[in-house]
Chains A and B, each alone.
Chain A
């Protein structure tokens, strides 16, 4: 989610500006991210330290002279370069005070812009389209400058890039309503011309922004109609001569009345753009907004009303947006996060664009639509299968509807009867998946409406198809918990890929609070605990001759506790028994292995009671001690929690309930024990680290050849 932070005023605008002209010519980056060079049309160049909102230096041309292009900083020499009166070049340094006395060179042609590059010579773009590097220009200021553009063709916008040490200049021109784009490469000089094409009568591009990525320039162009188009300019165009550039619509702003006049666009990172001077919703139509849009999802991310009206000027530098409005130049820091689905579900969904592809209505997290298509193609190649498949396809839609009709109002047994043939054929198609979800939702509704109705076996069959997900039948798992059907709950935890953390937590809570006696009659998949000891079985500390106690005693580190205490309460002395029953542990293991996001899980974890936490922590500790001793006995494929999952859960639990654990007297012993074990593990790993270092060094050593007194070798002299 992109955000606009609270802005602040960098400077006021010069008095005497009109509604059309803000008086600011340009803002260019200064010597670091915190410095900018503000060039005002009032012939002043001011360097600001942005965070202090303070001007560091200011230079003004004398009366009658006008600075005609934004001053830039020559990155290599630290000098400022500006042009006044169209063709007089000025170069000065921070310490120069009098602008009149600084270096001056009169050029033979009028300059449009100077572009600074961080590690290269600045580029000078002349009004007639020629481009020169500054050093080449300074060598002979009066050199003839060719005319690239035709008569009446005016440069509207320009930008430069550095690709593989090679400077590039991109600029757009306009000639009687037609727009062109030029890509000028230097060393060697190559000029490419593109026709952007117009967008209907009276609609013209009013704002440009370009970024260079993967050897391709992405040009975003804001039209007066409110459309933002994306144009891809290849750095290595194949064809010669003027080319037409295809453009794709990225965003259509809701421009209610007529056309935009003063608007600007700036591309931010991660598929975000900032637009000033355009309305963000059709209802208001107010143009005095600065908005950040996500172009991937066409969503509005942030907006800010700018007081006093905008001028359609926007600059972006080092994570800050500079915008003129009213009588001030405001700096607005922003932040863009990487586009994710969650971030894209922003404040407002764009509905007017047709270009948005409709997302698949079934959330199938395991397979992508195109995969299924490929699968279908594959099956389609086999004639026999395809026939069958087609038949299924045709009948599926009707059969699902039929099944849905059939299961309405019938008893449990009948539901089983109806669904049995349907479930026994399990073709791969989105319709089938959709159908399953519909059936599950239907059954769910009935279960909720009729407390006596609970077709467990059907629900289990449905779950076991692996095609249900939590999002396709929300409330399923909660119902199962309500019914205390732990068998089905385990199945759901195993098969649902998208259980929300709240539900996971509810499951955990239910599992922890259930008495072992209640689980006796419940059949639970015990695969995950097949290697676990049964309850009451104590754990031996020595495995393959490794005893962490020894490590604790022989450690070369300074012993933190007195040896006496250590011996009496070494963790192996406390016979570690599994605090929960076998079936319960199988259920808890499912929880531990389920996927979750920490930040979403933490608040729900807080709902657990102290007793539950301690029990769970005990169990986790048991698992931890158990699995750290059994590192090599863990078999792949078995559904047993990994040590990483266990430690993650322990730290989550400690995070969530730190205060509770500190206060609870019964947790004290547990925590102390856990600490001791963790400490011994840390020592073990630090010892392992040493061994690793040694082994690494050993493997680095080139095997010294044992050369006897005499050997015969073959060499090649190169």
Chain B
């Protein structure tokens, strides 16, 4: 093994959307993140920062503020004036509510989590009561001139600080009156005719208000007296985001320049009891506006217009050198947006608003490794399928034969049949879908393209049989555990007998399609599966988890295989552990089924299950000096692991027939080129 012809594909112009706001839930250790296109993502920080849930966006929704209530209630508010609570099991909005105050710029929840305050365009602060299953309008605070751009509750729940244009007001919640009006000075001379926008306020429990404004200042105010304590000029442009740590000893501020600046409450001299806020660190991981920052126990999390989520560890807080102490940049989703029909060499690309079907090109020459072959047949875009409605596409798939395409939004599922003879391509929508199909979390065709599996609400899986004439609902599988967590992965065996599903409670269920009954459940591992596949010959289920572990489970024997145990003992390739992005795809080589291919964003590797893993131990553990360690990057021929890091970043890798590989790359430079120009560009020598 070892030599492959590679289709190097760069024409998938996937463009992630910029990050607008985020909220960190300390109790659940999860980060909720809203993007400019209205989608909401939830990252599980205790599970290797895995992107656990994605709620697809909608054209009608624009999110300006996001808020957790308790462990599992998530609210957003946006410029359409609506407040949305999400159903985190069905992954769609639970209900929407108009606040009747025009566009909502900001939202804040009090520490007791009994009330919401929304800052509206019309200058009103609206209080909503949080009820177990909904929120209810309570009253308005005194309406002021100018839109309310930022809000923060005092810990006591009796005072609210509200940032507006040129002014910060403090409201008494009980009376609803403004008790303090703090004027914020405008920027330096020359910008005096421009309003100073108070983008952020934070009310500390010692009655200090921290503000960040469009003049680039982070200011500290005494809320009782209304006086300025300290000004830190941190940027020539706006301070767009502000976050206070849980124990109020650290503040981070994000600016338009792409910097994140940390302030810490320190005593200027050692042993001095008196403390003050001192600017300590500057992080520069972004090129564009940092629209959202938050601080966890061990790291500063920031996101902005350059679409990446940056988790930057605070090394003084990290106790052990572990996965926590690594700087992470999340740019691509932790799931595959590409599906591939192997036989006809088709690729289906999923965008939020459309699908693209491409046929790969070809060559009629052969070459030696390292060579680039002339492309005699160019790749072809066969189809561009725009979605209907406002809701964004959440999942899509193409059948192995290439004749069926299915996609789903939160509101509907669509199935298309494709006829492709030579140059003519015709597409027909399957109009009559069984009623049971309303929306899907994941779609999958069977290997022979005769069935469609739809992972739906309540962790159910509908089996639909497909034929030219009609589509019929065959069966609905339900998990034995009764879990209602959404299914995010489906895998069907090549012989059509088995179907496996993984849900967000880490459960992996195996169903027998012949007998139409639940076969077994794989022992629950405490990390979410990020990819899985069933071996075409042995029917062993291969699973990769968010914590980088790979297991093999024999469906027939209902137990982990010997190879899996050996792999657990030997550990994965040493280089594997250096990367921190989850494995998003597992597939097998049709020409040599013993070869398993896994990939993540930075590399793909092929593991030959027929080769001994014993070598690995000799290779990885007997090396004592770091000098020798580098040799493991170039392991010997008979090593079961073959890695390739040539192509980065990877969105998809698949093995086609006759030792062809398809690699879908999305160079970061292409993403950056589509972003607007940053306010400040690094010039050489400055």
Bound-state CA distance A710–B373 (Å) is 11
Does any Cβ of A come within 8 Å of B9's Cβ?
yes
Count residues on chain A whose CB falls below 8 Å from chain B CBs.
13
Smallest Cβ-Cβ distance to B10: which chain A residue: A709
B:1-35 near A, CB below 8 Å: 1-11
B94 to chain A, nearest CB (A): 42
Bound-state CA distance A709–B3 (Å) is 22
* B637 x A718 contact (CB < 8 A): yes
* B637 x A714 contact (CB < 8 A): no
Does any Cβ of B come within 8 Å of A517's Cβ?
no
* A718 x B11 contact (CB < 8 A): no
> With A710-B375, A711-B8, A712-B6 as given contacts, are A718 and B642 in contact (CB-CB < 8 Å)?
yes
> With A717-B642, A718-B642 as given contacts, are A712 and B372 in contact (CB-CB < 8 Å)?
yes
Smallest Cβ-Cβ distance to A708: which chain B residue: B10
Does any Cβ of B come within 8 Å of A482's Cβ?
no
Bound-state CA distance A119–B8 (Å) is 54
Of A705, A708, A709, A714, the residue contacting B6 (CB under 8 A) is A714
Of A709, A712, A715, the residue contacting B363 (CB under 8 A) is A712
Bound-state CA distance A202–B367 (Å) is 81
Contacts of B366 in A (CB 8 A): 714
**Chain A window 679-712, contacts with chain B (Cβ cutoff 8 Å), 1 for yes, 0 for no:** 0000000000000000000000000010111111
Of B8, B11, B361, the residue contacting A713 (CB under 8 A) is B8
Bound-state CA distance A714–B8 (Å) is 10
* A717 x B1 contact (CB < 8 A): yes
* B375 x A712 contact (CB < 8 A): yes
Bound-state CA distance A697–B606 (Å) is 37
Does any Cβ of B come within 8 Å of A716's Cβ?
yes
**Chain A window 220-263, contacts with chain B (Cβ cutoff 8 Å), 1 for yes, 0 for no:** 00000000000000000000000000000000000000000000
Of B11, B371, B643, the residue contacting A709 (CB under 8 A) is B11
Smallest Cβ-Cβ distance to B378: which chain A residue: A710
**Chain A window 511-536, contacts with chain B (Cβ cutoff 8 Å), 1 for yes, 0 for no:** 00000000000000000000000000
B634 to chain A, nearest CB (A): 6
Contacts of A717 in B (CB 8 A): 1-4, 606, 642-644
**Chain B window 627-658, contacts with chain A (Cβ cutoff 8 Å), 1 for yes, 0 for no:** 00000001101000011101000000000000
> With A717-B4, A718-B2, A718-B637 as given contacts, are A711 and B372 in contact (CB-CB < 8 Å)?
yes
* B372 x A718 contact (CB < 8 A): no
Smallest Cβ-Cβ distance to B360: which chain A residue: A710
Contacts of B1 in A (CB 8 A): 717
**Chain A window 446-471, contacts with chain B (Cβ cutoff 8 Å), 1 for yes, 0 for no:** 00000000000000000000000000
Query: Main SS of the interface on chain B?
Result: loop
Does any Cβ of A come within 8 Å of B626's Cβ?
no
Contacts of A711 in B (CB 8 A): 8, 372, 375
Does any Cβ of A come within 8 Å of B368's Cβ?
yes
* B644 x A712 contact (CB < 8 A): no
Contacts of A714 in B (CB 8 A): 3-6, 366-373
Bound-state CA distance A711–B663 (Å) is 10
B2 to chain A, nearest CB (A): 5
Does any Cβ of A come within 8 Å of B379's Cβ?
yes
> With A717-B606, A717-B642, A718-B642 as given contacts, are A710 and B3 in contact (CB-CB < 8 Å)?
no
Q: How many A-B residue pairs have CB under 8 A?
A: 75
> With A715-B370, A716-B2, A717-B1 as given contacts, are A710 and B644 in contact (CB-CB < 8 Å)?
no
Bound-state CA distance A717–B644 (Å) is 6
A64 to chain B, nearest CB (A): 51
Bound-state CA distance A713–B371 (Å) is 6
Chain B interface size, as a band, is: 35 or more
Contacts of A710 in B (CB 8 A): 7-11, 361, 375, 378-379
Bound-state CA distance A714–B606 (Å) is 16
* A715 x B646 contact (CB < 8 A): yes
B149 to chain A, nearest CB (A): 42
B:368-396 near A, CB below 8 Å: 368-375, 378-379
* A707 x B10 contact (CB < 8 A): yes
Bound-state CA distance A707–B371 (Å) is 13
Most buried by B among A712, A714, A716: A712
Of B369, B372, B379, the residue contacting A716 (CB under 8 A) is B369
B283 to chain A, nearest CB (A): 30
* A716 x B10 contact (CB < 8 A): no
Contacts of B361 in A (CB 8 A): 710, 712
Smallest Cβ-Cβ distance to B660: which chain A residue: A712
Bound-state CA distance A715–B8 (Å) is 11
Bound-state CA distance A14–B2 (Å) is 79
B249 to chain A, nearest CB (A): 47
Contacts of B372 in A (CB 8 A): 705, 711-714
* B375 x A715 contact (CB < 8 A): no
* B370 x A712 contact (CB < 8 A): no
B635 to chain A, nearest CB (A): 7
Contacts of A707 in B (CB 8 A): 8, 10
Smallest Cβ-Cβ distance to B637: which chain A residue: A718
B228 to chain A, nearest CB (A): 49
Bound-state CA distance A717–B371 (Å) is 14
Bound-state CA distance A705–B372 (Å) is 10
**Chain B window 566-592, contacts with chain A (Cβ cutoff 8 Å), 1 for yes, 0 for no:** 000000000000000000000000000
Bound-state CA distance A708–B378 (Å) is 12
**Chain B window 592-604, contacts with chain A (Cβ cutoff 8 Å), 1 for yes, 0 for no:** 0000000000000
Bound-state CA distance A717–B1 (Å) is 8
Bound-state CA distance A708–B644 (Å) is 20
Bound-state CA distance A708–B379 (Å) is 12
Smallest Cβ-Cβ distance to B3: which chain A residue: A716
Bound-state CA distance A718–B370 (Å) is 12
* A715 x B379 contact (CB < 8 A): no
Bound-state CA distance A522–B373 (Å) is 73
Contacts of B10 in A (CB 8 A): 707-710
B611 to chain A, nearest CB (A): 13
B406 to chain A, nearest CB (A): 26
Bound-state CA distance A716–B371 (Å) is 10
* A715 x B373 contact (CB < 8 A): no
Smallest Cβ-Cβ distance to A714: which chain B residue: B367
Smallest Cβ-Cβ distance to A716: which chain B residue: B369
Bound-state CA distance A712–B379 (Å) is 11
Contacts of A705 in B (CB 8 A): 372
Q: Which 8 A-B pairs have the closest CB atoms?
A: A717-B642, A716-B369, A709-B11, A712-B373, A713-B6, A711-B8, A714-B367, A709-B10
Binding site for B on A (CB under 8 A): 705, 707-718
A to B CB contacts below 8 Å, 30 in the list: A705-B372, A708-B10, A709-B379, A710-B8, A710-B9, A710-B10, A710-B378, A710-B379, A712-B5, A712-B7, A712-B8, A712-B373, A713-B6, A714-B4, A714-B371, A714-B373, A715-B4, A715-B6, A715-B370, A715-B644, A715-B646, A716-B4, A716-B370, A717-B2, A717-B3, A717-B4, A717-B644, A718-B2, A718-B637, A718-B642
Given A709-B379, A712-B5, A717-B4, 19 further pairs, Cβ under 8 A: A709-B11, A710-B10, A710-B11, A710-B361, A710-B375, A710-B378, A711-B375, A712-B8, A712-B363, A713-B6, A714-B3, A714-B6, A714-B367, A714-B371, A714-B372, A715-B644, A716-B3, A716-B4, A718-B642
